């Protein structure tokens, strides 16, 4: 599978993608690393040491989030679906969702370059990326188990709901902070806050 078809299948035909994609962990890890770098490139500080610390912290945070999501999905398919698969297999297939997240990070960064990122816009982007990741997760897990897609969705529904809740809570907190800061400055415009982006 060449790069052009790989991207097309990952974005729009996930079932076909996982029938042909490499089974190793290296490519998902590289995609996740690329997503991490894209997500922070727009907010890197000018100081070199601080920039290095920012990059290292982001890489550790994203890869840790990836492992946690994979573990939650693995627990779901084993407890609810009684499926047999390994953590490495789950880590591999869930890592491909970072390709979708990288697109979301680019869009979020471009919006940020235009001006202050509105919390509602951030929440909408996070929601769109999350729902776009669902078929990647579902068909990825289907490729390493014998479960049908509908059953897999049931198995991973609780972690997905938790992600949605965390996004909403993040939105509420961010909106409150921005509103409070705007009131404190006595102006109607929001200060240029850099909003955090979700990992998985």
Distance from C-alpha of 53 to C-alpha of 81, rounded to nearest angstrom: 41
Distance from C-alpha of 69 to C-alpha of 82, rounded to nearest angstrom: 18
Angle, nearest 10°, between helix axes 119-142 and 98-114?
170
pLDDT over 50 at 40, yes or no: yes
Residue pair 95/35 in contact (Cβ under 8 Å)? The answer is: no
pLDDT over 70 at 120, yes or no: yes
Position 50 scores a pLDDT of 87
* DSSP secondary structure of the chain: --HHHHHHHHHH-HHHHHHHS--SSHHHHHHHHHHHHHHHHTT--SSHHHHHHHHHHHHHHHHHHHHHHHHHHHHHHHHTS-----HHHHHHHHHTTHHHHHHHHHHHHHHHHHSPPPHHHHHHHHHHHHHHHHHHHHHHHHTTSS--HHHHHHHHHHHHHHHHHHHHHHHHHHHHHHHHHHHHHT-SSPP---------
Position 117 scores a pLDDT of 64
- pLDDT band at 9, cuts 50/70/90? very high
Residue pair 138/156 in contact (Cβ under 8 Å)? The answer is: yes
Distance from C-alpha of 182 to C-alpha of 101, rounded to nearest angstrom: 30
Distance from C-alpha of 158 to C-alpha of 6, rounded to nearest angstrom: 29
Return mean pLDDT, the chain.
84
Q: Tokens 């479960």 sit at which residue?
A: 147
- The pLDDT of 20-49, averaged and rounded, is 89
pLDDT tens track for 124-181: 888 899 999 999 999 999 999 989 999 999 999 998 998 888 878 876 776 676 566 5
Q: What CA–CA distances, in Å, run from 18 to 6, 15, 112, 188? A: 10, 6, 33, 49
Residue pair 159/166 in contact (Cβ under 8 Å)? The answer is: no
């Amino acid at each position: 599978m060449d790069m052009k078809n790989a991207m097309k299948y990952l974005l729009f035909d996930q079932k076909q993608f996982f029938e042909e994609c490499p089974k190793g962990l290296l490519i998902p890890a590289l995609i996740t690393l690329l997503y991490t770098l894209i997500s922070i490139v727009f907010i890197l500080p000018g100081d070199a040491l601080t920039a290095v610390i920012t990059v290292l912290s982001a890489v550790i945070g994203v890869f840790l989030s990836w492992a946690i999501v994979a573990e939650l999905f693995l627990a779901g398919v084993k407890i609810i679906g009684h499926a047999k698969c390994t953590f490495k297999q789950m880590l591999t297939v869930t890592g491909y969702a970072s390709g979708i997240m990288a697109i979301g990070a680019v869009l979020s960064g471009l919006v940020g370059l235009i001006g202050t990122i509105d919390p509602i816009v951030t929440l909408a982007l996070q929601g769109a990326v999350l729902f776009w990741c669902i078929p990647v997760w579902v068909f990825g897990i289907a490729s390493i188990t014998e479960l049908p897609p509908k059953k897999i969705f049931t198995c991973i529904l609780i972690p997905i709901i938790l992600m949605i809740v965390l996004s909403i809570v993040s939105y509420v907190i961010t909106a409150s902070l921005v509103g409070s800061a705007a009131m404190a400055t006595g102006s109607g415009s929001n200060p240029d806050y850099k909003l955090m982006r979700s990992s998985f």
